[in-house]
Every structure is written in C-alpha cells, then in structure tokens.
Amino acid sequence: MKIEPKYLVLASLAAAIVALDQATKIYIHTQFQLGQSLVVIADYFNITYVRNPGAAFGILSEAPEMFRRVFFFLMTPLALAVILLILRGVPSNDRVQVLALSLIFGGAIGNYIDRLRFGFVIDFLDFHWRNLYAWPAFNVADSAIVVGVGLLILAMFTTPPTVESGDATTTGP
C-alpha cells in the first residue's frame, strides 16, 4: 500500500507546526508570568503571555465554561475529520490546497492540545500600533490556520472551475 504524497505533506507539515507551536507555548508558559510583556519592537510588537479561553480573537470567551469545554472538545476532532475528507478529494498535485489544509490541520491540533491540557489556549504574539490599536494576541497555531484559510480563499479566486462531461473532468472555459 502506497501512501499518497498529499498525506505525507499533511503529516509532515502538521507535525512541524505542532512542534513549533507547542515549543513556543511551553517557553512562554514557563518563562513568563501571565500578562508579562517583553517589548520586541517599540510601539508595534511585544511578546505578551495571554490565556484565551475562547476561539480565535476571543470569540466565545464570555460563554459559560462548560459550553466552551464541550464545544471545543467536540468541534476540533470534527473539523480535523472534515479536513481529511476534503483532502481526500484534492488532487495530490494541487499544492496550494494540500498546503492550506495541512496548515489548518496542524494549527487546529496545536490549539487543541492547549485546550486539553489547560482549558485555554496560550497566546503571545502581540501586535499593536502605539497605544491606539491592538490586534488580539495570537500564536503559531493561529498563524498557521489564518495562512491556510487565506490560501484556500486565494485558490478559490485563482483556480479555474472544473466542468464534468461524461467520465472526464475538464477545466471550464
């Protein structure tokens, strides 16, 4: 039985993302106090230890804890299964979609590990513009998910649609 290259890409890239994500989060969790901030680029970028009990950008952070725990415990495995089902239908030579789904898959696992271990996600990348605007803190896993979703959106607008005719699938006009 030969494993298709797209699954090897998924496994390798997801493992690399999870490893980098967890290594950075372990460092932040053990070396920083909650709320502690280190200025990297004055007025623009800090490393700040934040705990996010919600989803991306704090969505659902105000929801009851039991709801969040059940929701995230069930939704992440479901999302991972959906990604695998989608990947199954993606041609191995469609590098953009394979890369995108692999990034999302790895990022989802990285944040899921935090939710299982701590009940929250460790965030620390803190971008802001002086004291006027602050982007919600995020992490390596979040970055992978956002880049993956961005690539999928890009692929939607740049890949010509396919038209099925009989037994063969062809590129549309």
Q: Is 123 a catalytic residue?
A: yes
Backbone angles phi, psi at 108, to 5 degrees: -60, -40
The token pair that represents 46 in the structure block: 């800090």
The residues near 131 (Cβ < 8 Å, ≥ 6 apart) are none
The token pair that represents 133 in the structure block: 């605007």
The single residue of 21, 114, 123, 126 carrying the catalytic annotation is 123
Single-letter amino acid code for the residue at 94: D
The token pair that represents 55 in the structure block: 């989803």
The single residue of 21, 114, 126, 142 carrying the catalytic annotation is 142
The token pair that represents 146 in the structure block: 């956002």
Q: Is 142 a catalytic residue?
A: yes
The residues carrying an active-site annotation are 123, 142
